[in-house]
Amino acid sequence: MKILILNCGSSSIKYKLIEMIGEQTLSYGLMERIGMHDGLLYHHFQKDGELKEKKMVREIPDYNTGVKLIINTLIHSDYGVVSDTSEISAVGHRVVHGGEKFASSVLINSDVRQDIRDCIELAPLHNPHNLRGIKACEMLLSGIPQVAVFDTAFHQTMPKWAYIYGLPYLLYQKYDIRRYGFHGTSHRYVSERVSALIGQPIEELKIITCHLGNGCSIAAIEKGKSVDTSMGFTPLEGLVMGTRCGNIDPTVVFHLIGREGLSLGEVVTLLNKQSGLYGISGVSNDMREILQEIKENNSRASLALEIFCYQIRKYIASYAGVLNGADVIVFTAGIGENVPLVRQKCCEKLAFMGVNIDEEKNDAAIGKESIISRQSSKVKVFCIPTNEELIIARDTKKIVQSLKGE
């Protein structure tokens, strides 16, 4: 069974075609600059046992054209990996917001499409593009089942005291204002994976997962279920991120409007796009550049790194409080997988809860599954590359098989 995974963003589409027998990636790629005359497609494909790349520049005015180009590329005689679209058994879509409606993945039909549309208010920057990808597939791959896998779904198990804000309760009832959490598929993947790696059932484990990419979030996971996470109503809450500010006193917003004369929209942009590592350092949102600047004695870059790691450490310690201890901590995503210095700083002063990092193992763990704690460490600490597409593919397969009564 071959499953196509689509992740549709504001002007980009990421895709992966997975052969579920052996869970092998046949092809993956990134389309950028949708809506421009010089749209780009970076297509990677397996041919004759080798991974090859094909780059294309095309006019991609809209999502339909984009998805069509991806499908035509996948069935192309030279750089395709299937001979016909009938070889694609199903499509799995990453959908950012499922509100309170979706606690798990679901087969897409007109009711589900409407529910995703109803969540646009909660995720105006994401859900409309996810819907465009779904519509394009319905048109171009008609008759092939499509499944929605939500970023928020994994966190729907949070107890009420973790997701209700200290606001008038009426606002939750009227406008669904509450904490939702994001990066659910990633937190789910690495927690399931770490349980498999240590050979202990997830039902017996207390796990803290740290997804540190451009967006960053932490989750407290008990018996395989998310019981708290750092992102909230939107992905702005929680940790300091690449360009997002994370937690701040809400009064700062009114102060900015009054003192800087900013409009509400400008404040939203400032908090989402001009803050975080970028805003503090003044140089970049990219951790590689921050590390380079630190080498060149840029004190603001050093401060950005300190703040970034300090916030993570505070969350880890507080989630140990949520879980009444922790058995495992996992670092994942671009920074979590590749930056030993960040992992080491995040775990400093956590000896009180039984965290003891092995420096050598930590330094060697770059982009690969590894344990980075000492044998004697009460809490096992891991670096695990995330694989959100695999979770989407597995959920899609399960739903399609249940459709067929298999």
Q: Which parts of this chain interact with ligand ADP (CB under 6 A)?
A: 213-215, 242, 286-288, 333-335, 338-339
Q: Please count the other Cβ atoms lying within 10 Å of the Cβ belonging to residue 187.
A: 31
Report the alpha-carbon distance of residue 257 to residue 46 in Å, rounded. Answer: 53
Q: Which two tokens stand for residue 374?
A: 């000492």
For the CB of residue 300, give the shortest distance to ligand ADP in the complex, in Å: 16
Q: Which residues, 6 or more positions from 25, have their beta carbon under 8 angstroms from its beta carbon? A: 16, 17, 18, 19, 46
Residue placing its CB nearer to ligand ADP in the complex, 12 or 46: 12
For the CB of residue 214, give the shortest distance to ligand ADP in the complex, in Å: 4
Report the alpha-carbon distance of residue 178 to residue 194 in Å, rounded. Answer: 30
Residue placing its CB nearer to ligand ADP in the complex, 174 or 295: 295
Q: How far is CA 282 from CA 215, 301, 335, in A?
A: 18, 8, 19
Whole-angstrom Cα Rg for the chain: 22
Residue placing its CB nearer to ligand ADP in the complex, 99 or 242: 242
Instruction: Tell me if residue 151 is catalytic.
Output: yes
Residue placing its CB nearer to ligand ADP in the complex, 206 or 315: 315
For the CB of residue 170, give the shortest distance to ligand ADP in the complex, in Å: 35
Q: Hey, what's the torsion of the CAs at 369, 232, 112, 149, to 10 degrees?
A: 0
Residue placing its CB nearer to ligand ADP in the complex, 115 or 337: 337
Which has the closest alpha carbon to 192: 154, 229, 156, 232?
154
Shortest-Cβ-distance residue relative to ligand ADP: 334
Q: What is the per-residue burial (b if ≥16 Cβ within 10 Å, else e) of 50-88? A: eeeeeeeeeebeebbbbbebbbebbeeeebbbbeebeeb
For the CB of residue 336, give the shortest distance to ligand ADP in the complex, in Å: 8
Q: Which single residue is written with the structure tokens 């090859």?
A: 52
Catalytic residue from among 62, 84, 151, 286: 151
Residue placing its CB nearer to ligand ADP in the complex, 138 or 289: 289
Residue pair 208/220 in contact by the 8 Å Cβ criterion = yes
For the CB of residue 386, give the shortest distance to ligand ADP in the complex, in Å: 8
For the CB of residue 277, give the shortest distance to ligand ADP in the complex, in Å: 7
Active site residues per annotation: 151
